[in-house]
Amino acid sequence: MHLLAAFTVLLAAVAASGRRTTKRKIGERQLEAAKRWQTSNTQSQNVKRGGVQNITFTNSKASEFYVDGKSLPLVDFDVGPSWAGLLPISSNPNETRQLYFWFFPPGPEGSLDDLIFWTNGGPGCSSLEGLLQENGPFSWSWGQAKPTVNQQSWTNLSSVLWVEQPVGTGFSQGIPNAQNEDDVAAQLVGFMQQFLEVFSELKGKKLYLTGESYAGTYVPYIANYIYENPTLLDLSLQGIWISDPLMSWDVVQEQIPAVDFVNKYAGLFSFNQTYMNYLEKKAAVCNYTGYMDKYVTYPPTGLLPLPGDSVEFAPGCDVWDDIFYNALIINPAFDVYRIWDTYPILWDVLGFPGSFAQTQSPIYFNRRDVKKAIHAPVDTEWSECSNINVFPNGDNSLPPAFTVLPNVIEKNQRTVIVHGLADFILIADGYDFVFDPLSVYILTHWNDLQGFQTPIANDSFIVDGVGAYGTMHSERGLTYYEVALSGHMIPQFAPVAAFQIMQYLMGFRATP
């Protein structure tokens, strides 16, 4: 009995010791995990980090745009050579409309044969946000005290051109007059013509048009404009990336899937049962309940009906705003771009880390020394999203899912559409309507069929060195991704996944 008692005591002591997780033990495990991640990430990406392939431009005007990567204010490392400034949208000597750009050459193992174009959305939101916080060579994201090297910069793939467009966005100059997406496309192509005259060594490169949010409308129209006017631009368009894109009606991408989204992430919203019962009743009255189960089939059986008699939500059927306002009551830091954010709201050097702009300083691109360093107009007050209406009379174009997208998919080598699953401002389930039956009232198919013919499989997006990172489906030139653990800004929130997706778009890997 004495031996048994002693053994019991020993077992209890061992068990108790095992339950005591100290900060030191956790720290040791974190270091080991970091080593494993770093090793697997390096092996999977196989990209040499640091340094650039410098490009020599023979046009003397190019030197006026040169940015010294050693002298960017508040950046304590060399980001390498780049070129930035304003160029007009036409060759007219009296042209007053100018777009601001920042161009970086590729890293040491990036391709010299390719050019990535990136635009943010809004409409009217600056592409410098994409550069500084998503896919540029240096990163100053939410909560960072200072900038750091971006290991997943898209410059590790090729040259990248960030452009603030349309007119009225960011540092861009002139009075906006675009009436529709064709106007935006024509102005952007006009700018690109001027850009290629100054940086003529980039002519003939393979071009990839990329962007997020409202760029889901910009990019397909720009791509279609290039394809329909093949002599205007001395670049070879290969494909497009649009992430968390606006490409259909708001009722499809926000309203119909909103209550299902709340149910999926009930623990994050934390609504009480009384309010959830109210939402469920409202969704039923508005014909949102069960919409997906009823109408989304593989292959599609026909065109999808709208839940009401309009492309807008019916009176009393704005469930999205209802959810948003009440989410803010429970969590005043609720972020439509990444729903799990809570207090404290992270400091953002660009002043816009979540659902609302914050009163913060310094706003990096409003520093006079920064403006001078990157050849930006010093008298222009920069904001991440412009107070100027870049479409003075509204955007009169139909969503691209109904118009130009099928043509663009057919002409591209590859088309990539990506969505972060933690994004509430544009909801992933809404894209099932857009891509599977290729949207409400669409009158065209792409590559002879309508929508995806087979369902999207769970855990089908495999990231090298990581494993399953969401879902993926590819048919007839279109590849659709849903990225787990990411909100609206995919390259910011899931940079390793974004990098691999871009590798696939550019043909640097054979499989999605």
HSE-up (13 A, CA, CB side) for residue 67: 23
Torsion-angle region of 304 (φ positive above 0: left; ψ -120 to 50: alpha; else: beta): beta
Clarify whether 213 is annotated catalytic: yes
Exposure of 267 by Cβ count < 10 A (0-12 exposed, 13-18 middle, 19+ buried)?
exposed
17: which 2 tokens? 């010791």
134: which 2 tokens? 């998503």
No. of H helices and E strands in the chain?
16, 14
* Beta strand 138-139 pairing with 236-243: unpaired
Cα(34)–Cα(30) distance, integer angstroms: 6
Instruction: Point out the catalytic residue in the list 82, 213, 383, 386.
Output: 213
3-state secondary structure at position 6 = helix
* Beta strand 470-475 pairing with 467-468: unpaired
Supply φ then ψ for residue 304, to 5 degrees. -80, 140
Beta partners for 236?
A: 206
445: which 2 tokens? 């198919």
What residue has token string 């100054």? 198
Cα(88)–Cα(86) distance, integer angstroms: 7
Cα(198)–Cα(262) distance, integer angstroms: 50
Clarify whether 423 is annotated catalytic: yes
429: which 2 tokens? 């389930």
Cα(138)–Cα(153) distance, integer angstroms: 8
Cα(237)–Cα(115) distance, integer angstroms: 10
Instruction: Point out the catalytic residue in the list 375, 419, 473, 488.
Output: 488
C-alpha pair distances (Å), 379 with each of 292, 375, 388: 50, 12, 16
What residue has token string 């998919």? 409
**Within the chain, what is the greatest distance between any pair of CA atoms?**
101
Instruction: Point out the catalytic residue in the list 423, 429, 432, 436.
Output: 423
3-state secondary structure at position 163 = strand
Clarify whether 445 is annotated catalytic: no
Helix or strand run (H / E) with residue 416: strand 414-420
| Residues that are catalytic | 213, 423, 488
